[in-house]
Each structure stands twice: as structure tokens, then as C-alpha cells.
Structure 1
Amino acid sequence: MASPWALPEDLRLHLRLDTIDDDQAAAVIAGAEDVIRGALDQHIDAVAGDSIGLVGNGRRTILLPQMPVTAVTSVTVDGELLDVGAWRVNRHGILTRRTGRWPLDADIDVVYDHGYATVPALIKRVCVQLAGRAWVNPRGMASESLGDWSGTYDKDRTGQALTDWEMRLLQPYARGPESR
């Protein structure tokens, strides 16, 4: 399992608390990590030897789903292992066929390494902000009254959703050609 992106101490400092329950803080941070991974459709943490099955598109390039790509171990097309010189890849996950095209509807299996050995500071910062919102408002109250109690709940205020600003900050780490 990958190391957490932030520590309970990071959350404590962000919230300016004297003490913090480490187990609860770790759970809130893990939840924020999951939200960010889901929003970006990226694993983020370094993964070695990941295997992915793709479908040929009839073009010279095909996109690997996770980035940054740090290495490609093998590429097979319909069970046939390609020579290393038959393709090239860049860190953005663009796998290019040097000659010809990826056969349309072919089964393309790629074994590759991807992710960040050290999570970028910006991702960590957004993770701590998200966890901080979840810590401060765990029930997701948007408004509250006391006389004849009334409450309004809002998932965006629990740390379960990224703000538009945070999504713009994280966009360079997102999946897809718009992030390249």
C-alpha cells in the first residue's frame, strides 16, 4: 500500500489545533485521497508492473490511462510481443507505433510503471484542504437553527467534493488530452 499523501500532523497544523486524533485524521485524509483519485481518474501513487488491456484504434497513437508513465516493460498485440523498437512512449502516456498503426479492434496488452514516487506538493496541499473541510464539518451542515431545530445538509461542505478552484489546480494531473 502506498504511503499517505499527508500525515495527521499536516492536518493538525492546517487546522491550527493543539492536538488531533491520529486515527480519525488518517481516515479523513484517506477519504480525501480517494476523492482526488476519483475526480482525476488517476491512481497518483507510483505503481510498478501495472497491466492494462486496450483496444486498437487504427491510429499511430494510443493513450495509456495512467500518468506519468515512467517505464513500459512490454507491449503485445493479439498475443504477439512487439520489439522495443516498434513503439515509443512519453511520460504523458502516449504510446506511438513507430511503423504502421495499432490494428483496429486488436487486443493490446501493456505492462508499464506509472505514478509519482513523491506526491506533488500541490496535490498534497489540496488533499489537506479537503480533509480539513471534512474534519471541521463532518456531518455536512450547510446551515443550522436552534429554535425548533432545522438543518440543511450539503455534501460539498463535507470535503466530499472538490471546489472549482481545486479542480483547476489539479487539472495538470488529470487524465485525458485536455491535461497534456
Structure 2
Amino acid sequence: MATDVLADPEELAASLGVQPTDPKLVWALTAASRRFRGAVRHPVSLVAGDSFVLDGNGRTSILLPAAPVLAVTSVTLDGTALAEGTDFDWSTDGFLRCLCGVWPDRLRCLRGFYDHGYAVVPEDIQEVVIDQARAMYRIDPGVQTKTVGGQSVTFGVQAAIGVTAQWTAAVERYQLNRGDRP
């Protein structure tokens, strides 16, 4: 799993007026990056030589677990090596297509290695991760209570840190495997 952050700590630090090594800044940027990766269901950052094991689906195309796909270096079907251009082809969108019929409808029959992700994280992802990290940095974890007169209102961190329309749009743009959700 990717452990690097999806935005520049220097940029977040400049907007907050703190050092990029500030522990709370590092925590907020790491947490916002994890949150984005979880929402889109893939690492986003460049991953070379990643392995996959897929269930066949009885169709000509199947989706690889992450995109954009940069290279598919090997594919085996039930242990037999397949040739790119003859037995299979692939797209940057993550489709693995069978060129000699359909993929069998069997569990764990396809295995292989591929490269995927972004060498440079797209700017719209960086922007929403920085926005989220800035919000997380500014709100203290735990319960916050405000009392005015005889009324008291309590906010938890989850209620205080929402997502913006830009975050939602970026997640929808980069999210994978949406077909398995209601």
C-alpha cells in the first residue's frame, strides 16, 4: 500500500504558517491522503510491478484493481502465460481484454503483474487533499464544547470535518470499481 502523501507538505505549511515538518501537519496530510485513497479505492501514486489475482467473469473484458494502467508485464491464465497482442490487450483505464474469446468464469484464474498510478499526482487531487488536511490541522481531535448562556453545543471531529464539493467531484473522477456499490 502506498505510504507517501498525495500533496506537497511545503504548500500546506505555507498556507498554515507552520514548518513542513510540524508533526500535526504531517499527521493531517497523511490522514487526508489515506482518506482520499480509501474513497477512490486505489493507491493513486505510481506503483511498479504490482501483482494482481482476478476472478474470471465469463466476459471479454475485466477490470484491473487500479488505474491508470501504464504497463501489463505478464498475465497467466490457470498458470499458462498469455501473450500481449495475441491473447490479451489492456487499456490505461484498467481494462484487460481477452483476444481469444472470453475470460473463464472461475475464481482466481488470472494472475499477473502491472504498473499503475500517477508519477505526478494530478493537481485537482493535490488541491482537495490539502484542503482536507488544512481542515484536519485546524480542528483539535476529541470533543469540543461551546457554551453560550444556558445552552451548550458539542461537536465531534467527524461532524466538524466534512468534505467539499471539490472533494466529492475529485473522488468521483478518480474512483474505481463503482459498479459494486448500491
Range of TM-score over shorter length: 0.7 to 0.9
- Which of residues 109, 126, 129 in structure 2 aligns to 1:127? 129
Distance 2:142 2:8 in 1: 23
Name 2:56's counterpart in structure 1. Answer: 56
Percent identity between the aligned chains?
Answer: 32
Sort the Cα spacing of 1:68 and 1:156 in 2 relative to 1 into closer, same or farther, 3 A. Answer: farther
1:11 and 1:128 in contact (8 A); partners too:
yes
Q: Does 1:73 align with 2:73?
A: yes
2:40 and 2:176 in contact (8 A); partners too:
yes
Distance 2:14 2:145 in 1: 26
Secondary structure of 2:102's aligned partner: coil
What is the identity, as a one-letter code, of the residue corresponding to 2:25? A
**Which consecutive residues of structure 1, in runs of 5 or more, have no partner in the other structure?**
none
Distance 2:9 2:178 in 1: 35
Q: Does 1:103 align with 2:104?
A: yes
CA deviation after TM superposition for structure 1 residue 157, in Å:
2.2
Name 2:45's counterpart in structure 1. Answer: 45
1:142 and 1:157 in contact (8 A); partners too:
no
* Per-residue Cα deviation, 1:146-171 (whole angstroms, up to 9, x for no partner): 6686522140423xx53454112332
Name 2:154's counterpart in structure 1. Answer: 151
Distance 1:164 1:7 in 2: 21
Distance 1:156 1:97 in 2: 47
- TM-score, with normalisation over the residues of structure 2? 0.84
Sort the Cα spacing of 1:39 and 1:60 in 2 relative to 1 into closer, same or farther, 3 A. Answer: same
Secondary structure of 1:125's aligned partner: helix
Secondary structure of 2:129's aligned partner: helix
Distance 1:94 1:70 in 2: 12
* Per-residue Cα deviation, 1:75-118 (whole angstroms, up to 9, x for no partner): 11111111122111000101111121101115100210000000
How many corresponding residue pairs?
174
CA deviation after TM superposition for structure 1 residue 52, in Å:
0.9
Sort the Cα spacing of 1:164 and 1:24 in 2 relative to 1 into closer, same or farther, 3 A. Answer: same
What is the identity, as a one-letter code, of the residue corresponding to 1:63? L
Sort the Cα spacing of 1:155 and 1:2 in 2 relative to 1 into closer, same or farther, 3 A. Answer: closer
2:140 and 2:157 in contact (8 A); partners too:
no
- TM-score, with normalisation over the residues of structure 1? 0.85
- RMSD of aligned alpha carbons: 2.3
CA deviation after TM superposition for structure 1 residue 144, in Å:
1.8
